[in-house]
């Protein structure tokens, strides 16, 4: 399976040097080995940091749904045919 090599990587313990990242066929990390050698691994340029999952939410929009449509239309509003 593919392997990657980073000269620096941010791990749970802090910054590590010469880190080998082994990946399985599904793209999941199977091993993280600091103080390693590149060997046959693909060399990555620059430091490697953990990916951040999508943390944003649109929950607030459920509360706001329909608020813009509440109330009477002011006289002379564009396309007011009534």
pLDDT tens digits for range 2-58: 999 999 999 999 999 999 999 999 999 999 999 999 999 999 999 999 988 888 888
Domains held by the chain: number: 1
Answer whether residue 39 is part of any domain: yes
pLDDT at 30: 96
Residue 15 lies in a domain: yes
Q: Which residue has the higher pLDDT, 75 or 24?
A: 24
**In which domain, by residue range, is 34 found?**
1-45
pLDDT score at 76: 60
Question: Is 72 among the domain residues?
Answer: no
Residue 71 domain-assigned?
no
pLDDT at residue number 48: 96
Q: Is residue 17 part of a domain?
A: yes
φ, ψ at 56 (rounded to 5°): -85, 165
pLDDT of residue 56: 83
Q: Nearest-CA neighbor of 17 among 53, 47, 59?
A: 47
């Amino acid at each position: 399976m593919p392997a990657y090599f980073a000269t620096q990587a941010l791990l749970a313990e802090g910054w590590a040097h010469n880190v080998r990242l082994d990946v399985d066929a599904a793209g999941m990390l199977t091993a993280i080995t600091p103080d390693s050698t590149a060997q046959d691994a693909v060399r990555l340029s620059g430091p490697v940091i953990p990916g951040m999952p999508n943390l944003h939410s649109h929950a607030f929009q459920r509360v706001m749904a329909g608020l813009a449509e509440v109330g009477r239309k002011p006289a002379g509003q564009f396309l007011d045919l009534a």
